[in-house]
Structure 1
Amino acid sequence: MPDAVVIGAGPNGLVAANVLADAGWSVEVLEEQPEPGGAVRHDRGVDPAFVNDLFSSFYPLAAASPVLAALRPEEHGLRWSHAPSVLAHPLTDGSCAVLDRNIDITAASLDTFEPGDGAAWQRLHQVWQSLRPGLLDALFTPFPPIRATARLALRLRAAGGLRMARSLVLPVRRLGEEEFRGQGGRLLLAGNALHADLAPESAGSGGFGWLMAMLGQTYGFPVPAGGSGALTSALVRRLETRGGRVRCGQRVEHVVVRG
């Protein structure tokens, strides 16, 4: 019997299996589907010459994750690819809000909507730079992230305290109206909030929109070259080099705990 059995060969299961294998455990991953990956898979169902991501397609949190970085998936075949700009929100009148990893390009784009909105974006980015270490620590620390949350609270106080906390729980439509005079910055925040499946009027959507936008500003929205399944393949290969095993087509009906 292995030391650990991981149920589900999605990205979280594969990362957990690799971390356990690095600690010297023997690990077996059981997956009900005929292939690993969960929502991180691609196929050629549209056309044999065309790779199509089936579910998720871009991975800013993976790029930001110190846990994934420590696994060095690039040594097992993963190669990240970046578009020339992170994303864009064009309007029918020809104007376009552009998020670019070069913050000056992002700011210049927003100034075309309303002079001064570029500086407003810079201010939001400065808050992100202050909070980023604590935020990422809380996101990637085993639950519950008590110490990480305490450190984040200290950074939040330094970044404006109650005002910033209020901003993060606002609906993204309201946050955009408070931070920007033109449509450009509002479009970037709202479009990114929708990735969390939150409506523009939902409480907390402002925080998610800001977080996703700032992740894109710093890390981009990278995609695995060759399709999203390339990330899965790299994690599987890495696990196998450490003696782990992934078994697909294995439905887990129940878990028995003895001793």
Structure 2
Amino acid sequence: MPDAVVIGAGPNGLVAANLLADAGWSVEVLEEQPEPGGAVRSDRGVHPDYVSDLFSAFYPLAAASPVLAGLRLHEEGLAWSHAPSVLAHPLPDGRCAVLERRAQETAAGLEAFAGGDGDAWLELHDIWERLGPDILGALFTPFPPVRSAARIAARLRAAGGLRLARTLLLPARRLGEEEFRGEAGRLLLAGNALHADLSPESAGSGGFGWLMSMLGQSHGFPVPVGGAGALSAALVRRLERRGGVLRCGERVQEIVVRGG
């Protein structure tokens, strides 16, 4: 019997299995589908000469994750590719809202839509510079993230806490209207909020839109060279090199607990 059985070979299961293997546990991963990866998979179904991502495609949180960095997946052949610009929202009149890799360049583009919007973007980026490391710390440490949360609270107080907290809890549409005069900044916030499966009218979607926008600003939206499946393949190779076992086509129907 292995020390741990991980149900599901999606990215979360594969990362967990690797960490357990690093801790010296024997690990077996069971996956119902015929191949691993969950929503991080690619195939050549569109055309045999082209790799297409089936579900997710770009990974700013992976680029920011100290957990994933600690797995050193480049040693398993994983490489990341960045587009010259992070993302763009075209408008019917031919103009385009563009999130660039540098905040100053993004701000310059927003300023062309409406005077003052460049400075508004840089103010949002300044908040990220102050809070971002602790927000990422809260995301990538076991729950509850006590230390990171305490540092965020202290910095919120120093930055006019209640107003800032309110700002990040606003719907993305409202936050965009309050922060920007032109369409471009509003589009960047709302479009990035959608990556968290939140509508522009959802409470808190403004904070998620801001978070994803700033991750793009600081870490980009990288894609694995060779397609999303290359990330899953690297996790599988690493696990198997450490003695872990992956079994696909295995549906888990129940978990039986005996003796506590």
Which TM class, normalised by the smaller chain length? Answer: over 0.9
- Residues 16-95 of structure 1: pairs in structure 2 closer than 5 A: 16-95=16-95
Cα offset for 1:150? 2.2
Distance 1:156 1:246 in 2: 44
Question: For the residues of structure 2 that align with 1:161 and 1:5, how far apart are their CA atoms?
Answer: 43
Contact 1:130/1:159 (<8 A) preserved: no
**Runs of at least 4 residues of structure 1 off by over 6 A?**
none
RMSD in angstroms over aligned alpha carbons? Answer: 1.0
**C-alpha contact (below 8 Å) 1:63/1:219 kept by paired residues:** yes
Sequence identity, in percent?
76
CA distance in 2, matches of 1:9, 1:141: 21
Match of 2:206 in 1: 206
**Secondary structure class of the residue paired with 1:243:** coil
Output aligned runs, 1:217-228, within 5 Å. 217-228=217-228
Distance (whole Å) between structure 2 residues aligned to residue 152 and residue 227 of structure 1 = 35
- What residue is the counterpart of 1:195 in the other structure? 195
C-alpha separation between the residues in 2 aligned to 1:103 and 1:115? 16
Q: Which amino acid aligns with 2:196?
A: A
Cross-structure match for 1:13:
13
1:254 Cα deviation after fit: 1.2
Q: Which amino acid aligns with 2:28?
A: E
Q: Which amino acid letter does the alignment assign opposite residue 60 of structure 2?
A: P
- CA–CA separation in structure 1 for the residues paired with 2:170 and 2:222: 28
User: Contact 1:30 / 1:251 at 8 angstroms: preserved in 2?
Assistant: yes
1:241 aligns with 2:241: yes
Instruction: Determine the C-alpha separation between the residues in 2 that align with 1:109 and 1:226.
Output: 31
> Which structure 2 segments of 5+ residues have no match?
none
**Could you state the TM-score of these two structures normalised by the residue count of structure 2?**
0.97
Secondary structure, counterpart of 1:112 in structure 2: helix
Aligned residues: 259
- SS at the partner of 1:196? coil
TM-aligned CA deviation for residue 253 of structure 1: 1.2
d(CA) in 2 for partners of 1:258 and 1:146?
34
1:231 and 2:231 aligned: yes
Tell me which residue corresponds to 2:180: 180
TM-score by length of 1: 0.97
Q: CA deviation at 1:155?
A: 2.1
Q: Which amino acid aligns with 2:146?
A: I
